[in-house]
């Protein structure tokens, strides 16, 4: 009996070892890769353009033997290329890290004759810097408005994106209350609106604070300056002026990233910026990854003085601003 029992125990141990051997070991790198692909598959507006089982199998094959998440980046970017959307990108941990708050450029203003010039730069998503950016923008608008300008020039030529909501908050005094534009995705949409100087998306406040300032001259004509560097949220900021009878654009076509991205944080500090929606202006025009043509095209060789002069000439034909 003892011998039989002992044999049974040995058999159980052997079976136990065999069972343990069939349990797959955790593979953090594989899980990292599959998580990134799942995010792209779930959220990209271009997801139907990819054969996902084949893409996943190819990505796993490309990362055989990889021992760190960074080794999967090229495979992830290969799938992003299959999506065919140049606005969807993977940022490594270093690229995803925001700059120090005090180094982020803030809006500034000047005047030229009876006109105000407001430069609105890009804004990196950073909660600490957001209050500083909006406060500087409000101060810039207030300073230029002290001379009671009859028209405004909004310079977006170097605005290549980031977070549009602080930009729109700074520009609130120059915009009309109500719908600014909307985001449209398969099966749904969300409006971005302005109410009492507060920017809202889907009815929810999306900026750190409101900007209820009122201009000395209400609803002035606005000339918006664009270039090939005007991109992403810079283009969305431009679109907030599209459809306003008192606004026109001057300069060069934009970069062509007039789509909405969502940011997804990965476990190693990298970020997936996935294009989830298209921008739609207040007239219903849908934008995408095509450059936005200015109302008044100017040569790429035009100097700043020449661009300002063209904008000024138009502004001085508008009601309340004629000479």
Q: Could you give the number of structural domains in the chain?
A: 1
Residue 269 domain-assigned (yes or no):
no
pLDDT band at 100 (very low <50, low <70, confident <90, very high): confident
The pair of three-digit structure tokens given for residue 226, joined into one six-digit string: 């664009």
Residue 227 domain-assigned (yes or no):
yes
CA 73 vs. chain centroid, Å, equals: 21
Distance CA 82, CA 260 (A): 19
Distance CA 16, CA 115 (A): 83
Residue 231 domain-assigned (yes or no):
yes
Residue 25 domain-assigned (yes or no):
no
22 burial class (0-12, 13-18, 19+ CB within 10 angstroms)? exposed
Gap between the terminal Cα atoms of the chain: 114
CATH number at residue 285: 3.90.226.10
Whether the model clears a pTM of 0.85, i.e. scores above it, the answer is yes
Q: Given a cut of 60, is residue 14 above it in pLDDT?
A: no
Short-list 125, 123, 126, 120, CA closest to 144: 120
* Number of residues assigned to the chain: 323
Residue 84 domain-assigned (yes or no):
no
Spatial neighbors of 78 by CB under 8 A, at least 6 apart, are 58, 59, 62
Q: Packing angle between helix 52-62 and helix 28-43, nearest 10 degrees?
A: 150
Residues 144-172 have a mean pLDDT of: 97
Residue 268 domain-assigned (yes or no):
no
182 burial class (0-12, 13-18, 19+ CB within 10 angstroms)? buried
Distance CA 49, CA 84 (A): 8
CA 168 vs. chain centroid, Å, equals: 13
Q: What is the pLDDT of residues 223-271, one digit of tens each?
A: 999 999 999 999 999 999 999 999 999 999 999 999 999 999 999 999 9
* Contact present, 173 and 213 (Cβ < 8 Å): yes
Q: Which domain holds residue 132?
A: 101-260+275-315
pLDDT at 25: 66
Residue 295 domain-assigned (yes or no):
yes
């Amino acid at each position: 009996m003892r011998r039989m029992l002992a044999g049974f125990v040995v058999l159980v141990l052997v079976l136990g070892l065999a069972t343990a051997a069939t349990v797959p070991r955790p593979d953090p790198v594989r899980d990292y890769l599959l998580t990134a692909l799942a995010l792209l598959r779930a959220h990209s507006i271009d997801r139907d353009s990819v054969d996902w089982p084949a893409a996943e199998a190819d990505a796993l094959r490309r990362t055989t033997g990889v021992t760190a998440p960074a080794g999967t980046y090229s495979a992830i970017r290969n799938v992003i290329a299959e999506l065919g959307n140049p606005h969807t990108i993977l940022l490594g941990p270093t690229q995803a890290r925001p700059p120090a708050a005090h180094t982020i450029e803030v809006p500034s203003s000047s005047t030229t004759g009876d006109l105000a010039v407001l430069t609105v730069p890009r804004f990196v998503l950073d909660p600490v810097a957001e209050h500083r950016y909006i406060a500087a923008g409000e101060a810039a608008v207030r300073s230029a408005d002290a001379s009671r300008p009859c028209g405004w020039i909004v310079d977006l030529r170097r605005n290549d994106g980031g977070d549009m909501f602080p930009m729109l908050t700074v520009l609130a005094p120059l915009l009309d209350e109500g719908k600014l534009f909307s985001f449209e995705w398969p099966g749904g949409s969300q409006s971005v609106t302005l109410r009492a100087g507060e920017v809202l998306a889907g009815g929810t406040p999306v900026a750190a604070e409101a900007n209820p300032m009122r201009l000395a001259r209400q609803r002035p004509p606005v000339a918006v300056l664009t270039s090939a560097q005007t991109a992403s949220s810079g283009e969305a900021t431009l679109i907030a002026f599209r459809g306003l009878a008192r606004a026109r654009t001057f300069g060069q076509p934009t970069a062509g990233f007039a789509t909405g991205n969502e940011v997804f944080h990965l476990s190693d500090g990298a970020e997936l910026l996935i294009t989830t929606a298209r921008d739609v202006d207040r007239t219903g025009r849908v934008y995408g990854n095509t450059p936005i043509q200015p109302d008044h095209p100017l040569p790429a060789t035009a100097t700043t003085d020449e661009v300002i002069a063209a904008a000024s000439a138009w502004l001085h034909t508008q009601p309340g601003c004629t000479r």
